[in-house]
Structure 1
Amino acid sequence: MKKSRTNFDPRFRAHKKNSGLQLMETFFQFNELDVSKERLSNIMNYAVKRNSWINEDPAMIFEFYQSMRSLIRAGYLMMLKERKWTVNTQPEKISPLVLGLLSEKEYRNPLLVFKTAFREYTIKEFDYFMSGIVYFSMGVYENLPERNIVMPYIHTVKMLDAAHLILQRKRVKNTADSNSE
């Protein structure tokens, strides 16, 4: 009897081959920014607690894990294409509430977030980080993650902010283009 294997690789389908922007749009169709950041924070918090585990449905956690992996890959694809998503604003016009974890420079050009993240960590290391925090958040374990998981977490939250910012700017640009016609 032939064994069949289930492929659990996250693959949100994009209309164009290797379209990072389409993958980001798909991510935010199913996940809101604030909910995603809160869920990532909860997973991270439970990953470092020794005697507790997350109370969410494991299927939801796994689905979120897959979608985050796709978002990270989308950012990598966007970074490779080097498309500019900059905005010309004066420093005094940017509110600290709008920035989130992003610096003013990263707010002006969100692709810098992805460049910085992938300069420090590879996609494989981000996968290891995501799978590690999901694993440790799902049960009570004696050991804690062996690597520093704070920096990949900060980069991941910044990637969420940057991806959302890129999509906002795309919508504004498309609206401006359609109004000018």
Structure 2
Amino acid sequence: MKKNKKNFETKFWAGFEAGNPFEASDALFDFAHLDYYKRNLTQAVIYSFKEEICSNNTPSEIFIFYKAIGSFLKIYYSLHKKSSKWKVKEPVRTEDVFHLTSLTKEEYDNPFTVFQKAFAETAFKDFEFFLAEIINLSLSPCKEDWNIDLMSPYIHLIKMLDAGELMRERGLEKIKK
């Protein structure tokens, strides 16, 4: 039986369609550094509260960022679903934790817990809605009163970005039964 390939929608920002989550994850962090994603996400959230429009040098950059983070969610949601089959390799050095400061010691030891907590509290479609909403609000000159929680998905997404980078740095290995 032929396996269906997941579509991680990497073509918009990577220039090719990645066939598996590992290839897509490598492409994502090769495309831009973790700081790029965290900075743009934070900027979009900040501008979603302002009457000013998020000012990037080129409007297409915001679209590319939106597509890349959307791909990130798809990639790591897919890996999260397979977390019982995979584990993150042990760290070679433990002193290099400071660039991933949003993670607790337990999350640093097992980054899959970040995704388990995030997707237990917030559904995948709600993360997609959050992403679309902050991009929309950050590009709108009108200040809106909305009654949705933007901070919880934001915090989860920052932690997921850190955990995703950590998983990529360390690598994954199949759990032997």
TM-score range, shorter chain: 0.7 to 0.9
Counterpart of 1:36? 37
Which of the pair is proportionally richer in helix? Answer: 1
Q: TM-score, normalised by structure 1?
A: 0.79
Q: What is the RMSD computed on CA atoms of the aligned residues?
A: 2.3
Counterpart of 1:53? 53
* Paired residue type of 2:55: N
Once the two structures are superposed, what CA deviation does each residue of 1:106-152 show, in whole Å capped at 9, x if it has no partner?
00111111111111111110010000000000021131443110010
Contact kept, 8 Å, 1:129 with 1:152, in 2: the verdict is yes
Give, in angstroms, the shift of residue 87 of structure 1: 2.5
Q: Which protein is bigger by CA-based radius of gyration?
A: 1
* Paired residue type of 2:52: S
Aligned-pair identity in percent equals: 28
Give, in angstroms, the shift of residue 11 of structure 1: 0.8
Give, in angstroms, the shift of residue 20 of structure 1: 1.9
Distance 2:55 2:106 in 1: 38
Contact kept, 8 Å, 1:10 with 1:66, in 2: the verdict is no
For structure 2, the 5+ residue unaligned runs are: 1-6, 11-16
- Where does structure 1 differ by over 3 angstroms across 4 or more consecutive aligned residues? 93-96
Aligned length: 158
Distance 1:95 1:26 in 2: 23
Distance 1:48 1:142 in 2: 7
* Paired residue type of 1:119: A
Contact kept, 8 Å, 1:106 with 1:113, in 2: the verdict is yes
Contact kept, 8 Å, 1:54 with 1:137, in 2: the verdict is yes
Distance 2:154 2:88 in 1: 23
Counterpart of 1:14? 18
**Are residues 130 and 145 of structure 1, via their aligned partners in 2, closer, same or farther at CA, if it must alter by over 3 Å?**
farther
Q: TM-score, normalised by structure 2?
A: 0.81
